Amino acid sequence: VHSLPLKGKHVLITAGPTREELDPVRFFSNASTGKMGYSIASQAVAMGARVTLISGPVSLEAPTGAELIQVESAEQMFERVLQRYDEADIVIKTAAVADYRPKFSSSQKMKKSEGTLVIEMERTPDILKELGRRKRNQILVGFAAETNSVEEYAKRKLQEKNLDFIVANNVSEEGAGFGTDTNIVTIYRRDGEHIELPLLQKKEVADRLLAAVAAVSGSETK
């Protein structure tokens, strides 16, 4: 209906993986390339939003017109997201944040020895859960990367993290999830409604998701 459905809105997006350092040359991470989150950032700019993109290490070009903040670890992403949270109208958490990090990291390269190596891991902060706790009038959108019981786990995250939408992708499906240019998602809404999308380009997924969010956001007086 509107040509710029997100005009006047500040959209905060996270994308990519995080890196949890073990020593200066080694880290724990995951297969996220940032494609999904960067597509959302570009589409949000095209829809008229002011966009802040907080990104883990990826090899994509910065989306034109968005403010890009680069981070490495879950802890850094947590800090930067919280700094921008109060001024955001819509927050979309596409990033694949590490759930664990090495409890101890070494400032020097670790030397190998003959035996096995045991690394103790501790939990990282759950960024989205904290955002859910502090939510005032932001629209909060999470992603759920699952390989099984997708609907059940996604709906549980929607509840537990106090979200308005959750975008579930079954990352074991061909053409969905990490690394691909396409995705297959179902968008669950807080009120129980859902939108099931077929295999689409991530750009198109971004478009449909933002349209669903804009429809809710537009009706709010802020």
148 flagged as catalytic: no
Nearest CA to 161 out of 134, 122, 196 is that of 134
Among 22, 41, 45, 128, binds ligand PMT (CB under 6 A): 128
Q: Is 92 annotated as a binding residue?
A: no
| Identity of the amino acid at 67 | E
Which residue, 128 or 214, has its beta carbon nearer to ligand PMT?
A: 128
Strands 185-189 and 194-196, bridge-based pairing: antiparallel
- Our finding on whether 142 is near ligand PMT (CB under 6 A) is yes
Provide the 8-state DSSP code for 161: T
Site for ligand PMT in 181-220 (CB under 6 A): none
124 makes contact with ligand PMT (CB under 6 A): yes
| Cα dihedral 74, 80, 83, 89 sign | negative
Does 177 participate in binding ligand PMT (rule CB under 6 A)?
A: yes
| 27 marked among binding-site residues | no
Helices (H) and strands (E) in the chain, counts: 5, 14
Among 43, 52, 73, 169, binds ligand PMT (CB under 6 A): 169
Q: How far apart are CA 195 and CA 184, in angstroms?
A: 11
Q: 103 among the known binding-site residues? A: no
Residues 60-119 contacting ligand PMT, CB under 6 A: 74, 93-97, 99
Which of 30, 162, 169, 183 is catalytic? The answer is 30
Binding of residue 179 to ligand PMT (CB under 6 A): yes
Nearest by Cα to 153 from 175, 171, 135: 171
User: Angle 193-175-159 (CA atoms, 0-180°, nearest 5)?
Assistant: 30
Q: Annotated binding residue at 161?
A: yes
Tell me the closest approach of the beta carbon of residue 15 to ligand PMT, in angstroms: 6
CA distances from 48 to 36, 142, 149, 175, 209 (A): 19, 21, 36, 29, 15
**CB of 66 or CB of 144, closer to ligand PMT:** 144
Site membership for ligand PMT, residue 44 (CB under 6 A): no
| Residues labelled as active-site residues | 30
Q: Give the binding site for ligand PMT (CB under 6 A).
A: 32-36, 74, 93-97, 99, 124, 126-128, 142-145, 157, 169, 171, 177-179
